[in-house]
Amino acid sequence: MAKTNISIIGAGSAVFSLRLVSDLCKTVGLHGSKVTLMDIDESRLNSVHTLASRFTSEMNTELIFEKTTDLREAIKGSDFVINTALIGGHAFLDRMRSIGERHGYFRGIDSQEFNMVSDYYTLTNWNQLSHFLKVAQTMEELCPDAWLLQAANPVFEGTTLIRRNSRIKMVGFCHGHYDVFDVSEHLGLEKEHIDWQVAGVNHGIWMNRFRYKGEDAYPLLDRYIRESGQIQFKPKTPFNIQMSPASMEMYGFYGNMPIGDTVRNSGWKYHYNQETLEKWYGSPWGSPDSEPGWNWYKEQLGQITSATMGLAQAMTHFPQVSLATLISEGAKVFSGDVALEASRLYNPSEMSGEQHIPFIDAIVNDNKARFVVNVLNDGTIEGIEKDVAVEVPATVDSSGIHKEEISPKLPDRVIEWYLKPRVLRMEWALEAFMKRDPNLIVEILLKDPRTRSLEQAEAVVREIFGN
Ligand code: NAD
């Protein structure tokens, strides 16, 4: 059992905070460690701190949770820094989206070919990219040997940006690759007999290897597609789109199955309007990135934040009542998905699936495990520049990250028609940001099918960035 120092920046995050706290409590090898929670929103910070302290005492973990609103104080002395902060919050993203829509850009100007994910802003959220650099620079000064674990989006642009501008050790994480198991479940395959790899860039990963009991499993997928062709696709949630018509079509065109958020990150052909979205991603939402789909998601996030704050308040008012009882009582008030998430958090035998805490355990305790990581390419994917962040499988142990050889290689169609254009868009966005040049954003919009005139592109950029 090794003690280490971990700081979580943006610790009030609806998506991550309690999952990370709960994973820490369940990771015996990290018990005794110090965890510093940092957020600028004091009420969120206090709630997460109260819950974290209670989790740790009820689960007998001896983790020490501290809290601060000061970035430098959080980072000082850290061995691992997890960044989950969203600068400006969802309110900023909504405001940018609505300005874009007023100027004729359906779903806002940050929705771009191969980057449709609604909280993955690469063009307008320069504050987020600046914050990424600020975290890395502060680490260089105060804890130069520490690891930065990047959770906040955009992970692709962010990992590339930080690794090009800082010497800090860094890895980006996403959970999209787990949809490999959604594919295999639909085919009725047993998880332990699947041999798989995914490769690409964050939110643009492709299942280059798919074998079952030693045999190529792609023919099983082809048969499934032929047989299910007549059944109308009916998603259970906006995110339940791994086996959607969009995914099947992309597989047909690119030659490998797109995995996880890659299915959302298709082209405009699938995203023109709500009707098109529903055709490809199913009704009633038409993907998480439609207006109803994204509203559904924000409602879930709102419920998680309210549940976290409500639980922390209840703990203060009823200190004698156990956390398990409070969680099960609270779960009655919230939707099924939020209630399920709450019960998982407290279940000692179930990890959240986020990779951050197992990664720390692998590094600190040599608890070797397989991860899907975002790191610089350095020749792993042929045809992609060395200094571009790719998302690939790797083994991690106390000596670091060991990327797997990508075998078989990605099809040329994926490299030439998907990854290279996506990489180019990343380069454009980073250049516009580094030069703080809104004219470059106008240039990007001139290549956008929603642009009807130069005046339209200039007007939206003027309203967002000022003159
Ligand atoms: P959220 O708004 O609920 O949480 C973000 C937190 O950051 C808030 O508590 C906010 O107060 C805090 N914050 C804002 N400015 C800060 C600052 N300057 N310093 C410290 N903290 C600050 O957002 P969310 O929905 O939980 O998403 C958080 C991030 O995670 C987003 O970038 C989102 O896109 C990303 N995300 C990543 C993945 C992944 O797998 N990598 C999955 C989902 C979401």
Task: Please write the tens of the pLDDT for every residue from 94-117.
Answer: 999 999 999 999 999 999 999 999
Number of Cβ within a 10 Å radius of residue 130: 13
158 lines ligand 1 (CB under 6 A): no
| CB-based contacts of 217, cutoff 8 Å, min separation 6 | 184, 187, 189, 194, 210, 211
Query: In sequence order, which residues have a C-beta less than 8 Å from that of residue 333 and are 6 or more positions away?
Result: 307, 310
- Averaged pLDDT, 165-177: 97
CA of 152 to the centre of ligand 1 (A): 6
CA dihedral of 125, 127, 129, 132, whole degrees rounded to 10:
-140
Q: At residue 2, does pLDDT exceed 80?
A: no
pLDDT score recorded for residue 348: 80
Q: Sorting pLDDT into bands at 50, 70 and 90, what band is 259? A: very high
Cβ atoms of 420 and 383 closer than 8 Å: yes
Q: What is the pLDDT of residue 55?
A: 87
Q: Is residue 174 in contact with ligand 1, taking CB distance under 6 Å? A: yes
Rounded to the nearest integer, the mean pLDDT of the chain is 95
1 pLDDT more than 70? no
Angle of helix 42-58 relative to helix 291-317, nearest 10 degrees? 60
Give the rounded percent of residues in the chain with a pLDDT score beyond 90.
Answer: 84
Question: Is 353's C-beta closer than 6 angstroms to any atom of ligand 1?
Answer: no
Distance CA 386, CA 80 (A): 25
User: Which string of b and e fits 403-425 if b means at least 16 CB within 10 Å?
Assistant: beebeeebeeebbeebbeebbeb
Q: Report all structural domains of the chain as residue ranges with CATH numbers, in order of start.
A: 1-87+125-174+293-384 (3.90.1820.10), 178-289 (no CATH)
For the CA atoms of 167, 393, 177, 78, the dihedral, rounded to the nearest 10 degrees, stands at -30
pTM above 0.85, yes or no: yes
Output the pLDDT for position 256: 98
Q: List active site positions.
A: 175, 261
pLDDT score for 186 = 95
Q: What per-residue confidence (pLDDT) applies to 60? A: 87
Burial of residue 317 (CB within 10 Å: 0-12, 13-18, 19+) is exposed
- Tokens for 344, please give them: 């998982």
Nearest CA to ligand 1 atom 12: 10
Ligand 1 contact, 261 CB (< 6 A): no
Q: Does residue 164 register a pLDDT over 70?
A: yes
pLDDT value at position 328? 75
Give residue 263's pLDDT band: very low, low, confident or very high (50, 70, 90). very high
Q: Whose CA is nearest to atom 1 of ligand 1?
A: 13
Query: What is the distance in A from the centroid of ligand 1 to the CA of 220?
Result: 39
**How distant is the alpha carbon of residue 316 from its chain centre?**
32
Residues 6+ apart with CB under 8 A from 26: 59, 348, 349, 350, 351
Question: What is the mean pLDDT of the segment spanning 453-460?
Answer: 98
**Nearest ligand 1 atom to alpha carbon 151:** 41
pLDDT one-digit tens code per residue, 317-348: 888 888 778 877 777 776 667 777 777 787 88
> Nearest to residue 113, comparing CAs of 454, 410, 451?
451
* The predicted structure's pLDDT at residue 230: 64
How many Å apart are CA 276 and CA 282, to the nearest integer?
10
Centre of ligand 1 from the C-alpha of residue 128, in Å: 10
Read off the pLDDT of each residue in 278-293 and give the average, rounded to a whole number: 97
Q: Is the CB of 23 under 6 A from ligand 1?
A: no
Indicate if the pLDDT at residue 37 is higher than 90: yes
Tell me, what's the pLDDT at 15?
81
Residue 134 Cβ < 6 Å to ligand 1:
no
> What's the pLDDT score for residue 7?
98
Q: Tell me the average pLDDT across 33-42.
A: 97
